Amino acid sequence: MTALRRKSFFLVWLSMLLFSFTVGAQTARPAAPSPPITDGSFIWQRLNVEASSEISDLLRQQYDQSRKTGTFPGYRLQLYFGSGVQARAHAEKVRTDFNNLHPDIRVYLIFKSPDFIVRAGDFRNKSDALKILKSLSAGFANAFIVSDEIAFPGLVVQAEIK
C-alpha cells in the first residue's frame, strides 16, 4: 500500500508542477505598430491583390448590371408594414416622424398591394444599418433590418472597381 501511495503522491505532485506553468500562447503580446500613411494614399491603392481574371470579369459584370438597374444589394430599416383603411395615413406619419429625426437618411414609402411599407436608408453593410437602428427612439420600437436593393452609390471611384 505504501508503494501505491508514493506513486499516487508523485503523480499528483508531478501534475501540479506541470500545470502550474503559464501557457505562453495565451499571454497578450503587443502588436508591432503599423507605419502611418503619410503619402495620402488609400489602403486599396497600396495593396497587391492577386486574383484570377474570371473573378475580375464577374465583378465587372456585377458592377455593369448594378449600373444598368440603378440598384445595388444592401440593407434598409423597415419601420412600418401594414394594410387596412388607415394604413396609408399611418405609413405617411411614420415616414414624416423618421424624416424629422434623421433628415439626412432617405425614406421610402412602398405600396405592395394591399400593404404599405416604410423603409429607410441605403446601407451598404449591416453594421451601418445597425448603428441607426440602435439610435432610434421608442417610436420605432418595431423597426428591423431587411436586405433590399438600395440606390446605387453615386460616389464610386473607378480605382476601386479595377
Q: What gap in Å lies between CA 128 and CA 134, rounded to an integer?
A: 10
HSE (CB half, 13 Å, CA atoms) of 142? 8
pTM over 0.75: no
Q: What gap in Å lies between CA 125 and CA 94, rounded to an integer?
A: 24
Q: What gap in Å lies between CA 45 and CA 159, rounded to an integer?
A: 8
Q: What residue type is assigned to position 154 of the chain?
A: G
Please determine, for residue 155, whether its predicted confidence score (pLDDT) is greater than 60.
no
**H/E stretch holding 75:** strand 71-82
Q: What gap in Å lies between CA 37 and CA 133, rounded to an integer?
A: 33
Confidence band, pLDDT 50/70/90 cuts, at residue 159: very low
Domains of the chain: 72-149 (3.30.70.1070)
The set of cell numbers assigned to 68 is 444598368
Residue 74's DSSP bridge partners are 148
Of 6 and 145, the one with more pLDDT? 145
For the stretch 118-143, pLDDT in tens is 999 988 889 988 988 888 877 788 88
